[in-house]
Each structure stands twice: as C-alpha cells, then as structure tokens.
C-alpha cells in the first residue's frame, strides 16, 4: 500500500476518523495496529524483523538506564548495535559483499563459486533501524528517559506516515506528541491537507512523468547521446527531489492532520550555494543523524585538519552505502565526500579571489553562480546514483565527452543575392536552430512534442509551487500554501493525473522505499 494507491485513499481516512472518534486511551493502540497493518501490506512475512529490532532496542534501553555499571551499559549498547546493524547488513548487504568478495578473488586468479542468498529487502529497514539506534544511543548518553510501555515505544518505531521512508524522527520530538490525544483542529487539517496535495503533485504529476524519460536513457546506456545523458540526468535531479520530498510532504501532511508534527526534511536543496549547504537542505533527518551519531563521535572538526577531512570522507562513504547495496551508491557518496574535502581546502583562496576582484560572497551574481555550480556538481553525482551498474555509469560518463552530434548548430548558407533574401535568412536562422535543437532533444530522450510540453509545464508548475510553499519560522514549523485558487487547481490536476496513471497501471513506488 503506497501513498499513491487506491488502498491508501481508503486506509488513511478510516484511520484519521477513528483517531478523532476514539477515547484518549484507545487512540495510540489504534495507531499501533494501523501502523503494523500498513507495514504488513508491503511484506507481512518480514514483520518479525521490525518487531525483533524494536524489542531488542527497548530491552537494551531499559537495562542501560537502570544500570550504573559502565561496563553493563556499554555491553547492552554494543548488543543493540550488533543486532540491529547485523540484521540490516544481512538482508541489505550480504549478497553485495559476497559478490564483491568473489569478484576480488577472481581478479587475483581464483575461481570461487558465487554465493547468492534469496533474500527479500525489507521495506524501510534502513529508516526504522536508524530510528531505534538513535533512541538507544540517546538513552546511553542520558539525554532522554526510556519509555516504560513497550507497545508505546513500538508505535514510535512504526508510526505509519514516516515508517518506510522517513523522516527519521528523534524520540524527544515524536514520543511526547504520540502521547497527546490531539483533538480535531481546523488549522492542522487545512495545513496537513495542503502538504499532502503538494506531495501528491510532486510524486504523481512530476516524478512519475519524468521517470519515463529518465529510464529511457539510463536503461539503454549504450544507445544514449551526450545531450540525452545531460537532459536525463538533469531530469533525474528533479525526479528524485519530487519523489522523495513528495513522500515527505505526504507523510508530514498525514501526521499534521492528526495534530502530530514531523520534522522538515527538505528546504529547497537546489537553491544551495555550496555542497555543504546542499546537505543542510537535502534529507535533513539523515544528514543530521550522521552528524550527531557518526561525524561528532569521530571527532567532527575539533581535531587536526587531516583527521577532519577524513571524518568527512568516512561519513559520506557510509552515507553512500546506506542508500543501497551497489558500488554506484558508494561512488556517489565518495564524490560528495570529495566535494566536501575540496570545498574545505579551497574556501579561503576562493573568498580571497572574490575580495581581490571586489565582490562580496553575498553579491547576487556570486550567489547565483555558486547555485549553478552547486547544481551541476550535485547533478553529476546523481548520474552515478541513478546508473544501474558501475559499468553503465562509465559508459554514460563517456557519452558526455564523445556522444555529441552538433549538426543542429549548422545553419543554412546565407543567400547574398539581395539584401532582402539575406535579411529573410538572418531572421529565419534562429528559429531553424531552435527547431533543430528541440528535435535533437526529443530524439535524445525519446520525447514526443506533447511529452516535452507536459514535462516543461510540470517543472514550471513545480517551481511555482516552491515559490508558493514557504517554510516559515513559526513555532509549529508549518508550511503555508498562500494561494487558495492555486490550491484548488492543484487538487484537480492531481486527481486528473492520478486517474490517468491508475487506469494505465502506471503507479510506482517511491524511490527511497528501496533504502
């Protein structure tokens, strides 16, 4: 049961209605049952994994809090890390590591038999594993108290809006909210509904439409052209943003209607002026998790320069591996790590150069140049993230340098017999170039004229939504869609697009479900 399915359109209103009708004592048990039902609609046979992870982390946290013996506390923290990460690594990385080991042995002349287990990747395992780990670590640090009721803690781990793709919530934010009854509130309902509408627009209207063209290039790397790779990669940057932030908006909206406020996970990442700022805006719950539970324990920036740079690389390599059991994700993480290292090493000379030419870092031209450069750098890294294999990623990168056909830039010869003929040619040449260029674009990505117009219109509408959807600094951290007319228009657009997609059986899961 995905958010963009008919089943969810029935499931969520029933859950919300029960939440507001049931007495206080029955609200959270109903949410727990609903959350487990929601998860079992994906993989009922693997529900024991989330139950086991929840049980181990809860027992460990209780023992850690009660014990005053540092050895006992450290032992149970270690047990939790081994069990939770062990389950994650077995189901997500066993075949990947085994295949990599076999490839390495063969590289040195060995002939080992491949080891492949028929494993199903549990949906959302990376998300709920990190949520349980943050809970136990916070208890170990003494920053939070344990939850005495196991079933209430189980609700914190399995709360259905953010269960399978985040945001990765912190216990101090979510647990107290789950404990409160939250009666019906018109403001919460309106703002939550607006979040959901924007999320559905991003996913159904933009991401699913763009995915068709992105797949046509990335699933046929050998046939791609240089321009096709550039366009498909730029479109994938839009696709993955709309897909993932769309899921987050729907999750935030579902919870907000019930009075529960999940953390913001995206803040206009493609407006960042550096890769460091990009990661302060992209998948905020994950980047802050790695900051608090990996980067800081490694020493952060309060150490020697070389160690600081190494810490950055370690964090981004782990982040890449977290995203998937494929070397393409590791390379993607390594690229972002290199970006961070290079950024740290060059920040002073870059700022000195700006001062030398008389420009401030806050000058509008500097800001927009940096935004463009940051997007290009992030977009290049997305190529490896989206590529099916490392080999195909190499082919696609090669196309960027060798797969260009610039024949559309060849203009007709100017007819110089008369001034009028020459003027006519000069006027017509730009339109001919534009027409040839658009034809080349459509051929490169496999778009029809109608598809190209729909894609451009969807992206322009997305830009308009981002301008209308402003994250304010109010205490509730709400997002307000300021134009009611646009809000109604988006509802109709989503319903229309959704009906078309479902009638053609084109519904798709969210990209981050596989992580």
Q: pLDDT band at residue 341, thresholds of 50, 70 and 90?
A: very high
Q: pLDDT band at residue 415, thresholds of 50, 70 and 90?
A: very low
Tell me the H-state helices in 295-389.
Answer: 296-298, 305-323, 327-356, 364-386
The question of whether 268 is a catalytic residue gets the answer no
On the CB side of 418, CA atoms within 13 Å amount to 3
- Measured at the alpha carbon of residue 347, what is the angle toward residues 346 and 348, in degrees to the nearest 5? 95
The pLDDT value recorded for residue 400 is 85
Query: Each residue of 170-198: b (16+ CB within 10 Å) or e?
Result: bbeebbebbbeebeeeeebbbbbbbbbbb
Question: Does residue 195 sit within a domain?
Answer: no
Q: How many domains does the chain have?
A: 1
Q: Phi-psi category of 477—alpha, beta or left, where left has phi over 0 and alpha has psi -120 to 50? A: left
Cα-Cα-Cα-Cα dihedral of 87, 89, 92, 93, to 10°? -150
User: pTM for the full model?
Assistant: 0.81
- How far apart (Å, rounded) are the C-alpha atoms in residues 209 and 247? 16
Catalytic annotation, pick one of 308, 323, 336, 363: 323
DSSP three-state, residue 479 = strand
Helices 364-386 & 390-402 angle (0-180, nearest 10) = 130
Question: Does residue 78 sit within a domain?
Answer: no
- How far apart (Å, rounded) are the C-alpha atoms in residues 23 and 343? 55
DSSP class of 45: G
Is 1 within 8 Å of 508 (Cβ atoms)?
A: no
Question: Does residue 419 sit within a domain?
Answer: yes
- How far apart (Å, rounded) are the C-alpha atoms in residues 96 and 100? 6
Residues 6+ apart with CB under 8 A from 186: none
Question: Does residue 411 sit within a domain?
Answer: yes
pLDDT-above-90 percentage for the chain: 36
Question: Does residue 6 sit within a domain?
Answer: no
- How far apart (Å, rounded) are the C-alpha atoms in residues 292 and 46? 30
Tens-digit pLDDT profile for residues 435-492: 555 565 556 556 666 666 666 766 666 666 665 555 433 444 444 444 455 555 555 5
Question: Does residue 431 sit within a domain?
Answer: yes
Q: pLDDT band at residue 409, thresholds of 50, 70 and 90?
A: very low
Q: Is the pLDDT of residue 261 over 50?
A: yes
Cα-Cα-Cα-Cα dihedral of 251, 254, 256, 262, to 10°? -20
DSSP three-state, residue 469 = strand
> Phi, psi at residue 469, to the nearest 5°?
-90, 105
- State which residues form the domain around 439: 407-443
The residue that leads in pLDDT, 419 or 487, is: 487
The pLDDT value recorded for residue 408 is 41
**If you count them, how many residues does the chain have?**
515
Question: Does residue 421 sit within a domain?
Answer: yes
Q: Which two tokens stand for residue 194?
A: 């607006």
């Amino acid at each position: 049961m995905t958010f963009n399915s008919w089943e969810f359109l029935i499931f969520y209103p029933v859950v919300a209605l029960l939440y507001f009708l049931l007495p206080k004592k029955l609200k959270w048990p109903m949410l727990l049952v609903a959350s487990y039902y929601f998860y079992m609609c994906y993989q009922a046979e693997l529900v024991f994994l989330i139950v086991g992870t929840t049980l181990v982390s809860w027992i460990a946290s209780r023992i850690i809090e009660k014990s005053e013996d540092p050895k006992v506390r450290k032992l149970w923290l270690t047990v939790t890390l081994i069990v939770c990460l062990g389950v994650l690594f077995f189901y997500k990385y066993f075949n990947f590591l085994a295949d990599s080991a076999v490839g390495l042995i063969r590289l040195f002349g060995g002939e080992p038999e491949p080891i492949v287990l028929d494993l199903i990747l549990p949906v959302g395992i990376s998300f709920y594993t990190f949520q349980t780990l943050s809970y136990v670590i916070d208890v170990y640090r003494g920053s939070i108290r344990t939850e005495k009721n196991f079933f209430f803690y189980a609700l914190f781990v399995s709360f259905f809006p953010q269960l399978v793709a985040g945001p990765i919530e912190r216990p101090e934010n979510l647990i107290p909210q789950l404990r409160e009854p939250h009666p019906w509130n018109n403001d919460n309902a309106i703002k939550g509904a607006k979040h959901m509408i924007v999320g559905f627009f991003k996913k159904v209207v933009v991401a699913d439409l763009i995915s068709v063209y992105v797949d046509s290039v990335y699933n046929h790397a050998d046939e791609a052209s240089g321009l096709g790779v550039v366009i498909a990669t730029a479109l994938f940057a839009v696709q993955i943003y709309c897909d993932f932030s769309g899921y987050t908006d729907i999750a935030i909206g579902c919870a907000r209607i019930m009075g529960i406020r999940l953390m913001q996970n995206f803040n206009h990442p493609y407006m960042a002026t550096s890769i460091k700022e990009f990661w302060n805006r992209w998948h905020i719950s994950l980047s802050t998790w790695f900051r608090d539970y990996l980067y800081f324990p490694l020493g952060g920036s309060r150490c020697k320069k070389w160690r600081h740079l190494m810490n950055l690389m370690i964090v981004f390599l782990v982040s890449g591996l977290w995203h998937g059991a494929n070397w393409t994700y590791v390379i993607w993480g390594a690229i972002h790590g290199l970006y961070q290292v290079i950024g740290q090493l060059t920040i002073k000379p870059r700022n000195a150069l700006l001062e030398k030419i008389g420009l401030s870092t806050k000058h509008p031209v500097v800001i927009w140049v940096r935004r463009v450069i940051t997007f290009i750098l992030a977009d290049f890294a997305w190529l490896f993230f989206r590529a099916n294999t490392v080999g195909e990623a190499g082919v696609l990168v090669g196309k960027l340098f060798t797969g260009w056909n610039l024949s559309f830039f060849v203009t007709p010869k100017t007819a110089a017999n008369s001034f009028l003929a020459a003027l006519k040619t000069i006027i017509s040449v730009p339109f001919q170039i534009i027409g040839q260029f658009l034809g080349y674009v459509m051929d490169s990505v496999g778009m029809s004229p109608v598809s190209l117009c729909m894609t451009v219109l969807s992206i322009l509408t997305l830009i308009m939504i981002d301008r209308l959807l402003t994250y304010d600094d109010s205490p509730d951290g709400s997002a307000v869609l300021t134009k009611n007319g646009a809000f109604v228009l988006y509802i109709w657009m989503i319903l229309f697009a959704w009906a078309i997609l479902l009638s053609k059986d084109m519904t798709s899961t969210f990209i981050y479900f596989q992580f």
